[in-house]
């Protein structure tokens, strides 16, 4: 789960495969507005060909690929123009893929987009959604590097999904929560009376990580501290306004804000030369 905006991006609107393959002359605005019927590009020709259906592509519902493209692009803080330039395609075609639920891009453009977004074609298809991370082989000459506090905070970013570890009468449990970083502290919502709510007033650990399957690299950040309930009505309203998302688990009853008051933060990353 990742820190979401940590790259220097390449701008510009290159004359790419999408525009070189056009069979009619149009401006950039009209190309995008009329996409995909009035302009035929190398990418759209590819999309019209019969696609070899794999287990991953067969499982992908219409529109899922576009949503995953948009989510990954926004996670990295990239514009459509940035992403298109990196992938060697047209921004208008990327917009079409993200917004049209019936879009079925071909393998070549998906490979380029996956590379531009630092992910895999299988991930864009959703084929990895039911599998645990870290299925790839270890890279040669990998190095484990300690992260400083600033690097750790940067990777926590503004929001994401992490795991809360807490002790219960039944033993130690680790539970996933989607969190926001508000006023420099990890904060999340839960249901009063839940296992997570029972952690209020006790010491907890909170962990966030990311694994790059393609490069066998990754990082992990661990926050240790105490869980505190946010009870002040004004502060709760402020947290409600600043939260990136409602809890993924849903439910209006998840209105108890819990904040992790940090005592210690540490992290490590796996680097491959």
Nearest Cα neighbor of 1 from 164, 137, 148, 113 is: 164
Q: Rounded CA gap, 194 and 168, in Å? A: 11
Cβ atoms of 196 and 253 closer than 8 Å: no
Domain 17-125 in this protein, CATH class: mainly alpha
pTM over 0.75: no
Least confident span in 58-72, 77-91, 203-217, 236-250: 58-72
Domain ranges of the chain: 17-125, 143-271
CATH 2.60.40.420 corresponds to the domain 143-271: no
Least confident span in 57-61, 219-223, 256-260: 57-61
Q: Hey, do 17-125 and 143-271 end up sharing a CATH topology, with the first three levels equal? A: no
Cβ atoms of 271 and 217 closer than 8 Å: yes
List pLDDT tens digits, range 42-72: 444 444 444 433 333 334 444 588 888 998 8
Cβ atoms of 110 and 121 closer than 8 Å: yes
């Amino acid at each position: 789960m990742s820190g979401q905006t940590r790259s220097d991006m390449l701008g510009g609107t290159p004359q790419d495969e999408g525009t070189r393959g056009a069979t009619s002359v149009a401006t950039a605005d009209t190309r995008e507005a009329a996409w995909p019927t009035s302009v035929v590009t190398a990418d759209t020709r590819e999309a019209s060909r019969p696609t070899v259906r794999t287990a991953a592509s067969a499982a992908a519902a219409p529109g899922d690929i576009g949503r995953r493209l948009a989510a990954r692009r926004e996670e990295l803080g990239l514009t459509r123009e940035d992403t298109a330039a990196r992938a060697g395609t047209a921004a208008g075609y990327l917009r079409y893929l993200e917004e049209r639920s019936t879009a079925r891009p071909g393998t070549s453009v998906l490979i380029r987009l996956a590379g531009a977004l630092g992910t895999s074609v299988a991930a864009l298809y959703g084929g990895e959604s039911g599998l645990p991370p870290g299925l790839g082989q270890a890279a040669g000459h990998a190095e484990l590097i300690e992260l400083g506090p600033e690097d750790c905070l940067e990777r926590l970013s503004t929001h994401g999904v992490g795991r809360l570890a807490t002790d219960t009468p039944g033993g130690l449990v680790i539970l996933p929560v989607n969190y926001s970083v508000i006023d420099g502290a990890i904060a999340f919502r839960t249901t009063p009376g839940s296992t997570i709510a029972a952690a209020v007033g006790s010491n907890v650990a909170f962990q966030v990580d990311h694994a790059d399957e393609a490069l066998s690299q990754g990082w992990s950040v661990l926050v240790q501290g105490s869980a505190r309930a946010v009870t002040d009505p004004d502060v709760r309203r402020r947290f409600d306004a600043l939260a990136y998302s409602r809890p993924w688990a849903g439910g209006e009853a998840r209105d108890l804000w819990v904040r992790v008051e940090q005592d210690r933060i540490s992290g490590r990353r796996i680097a491959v030369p």
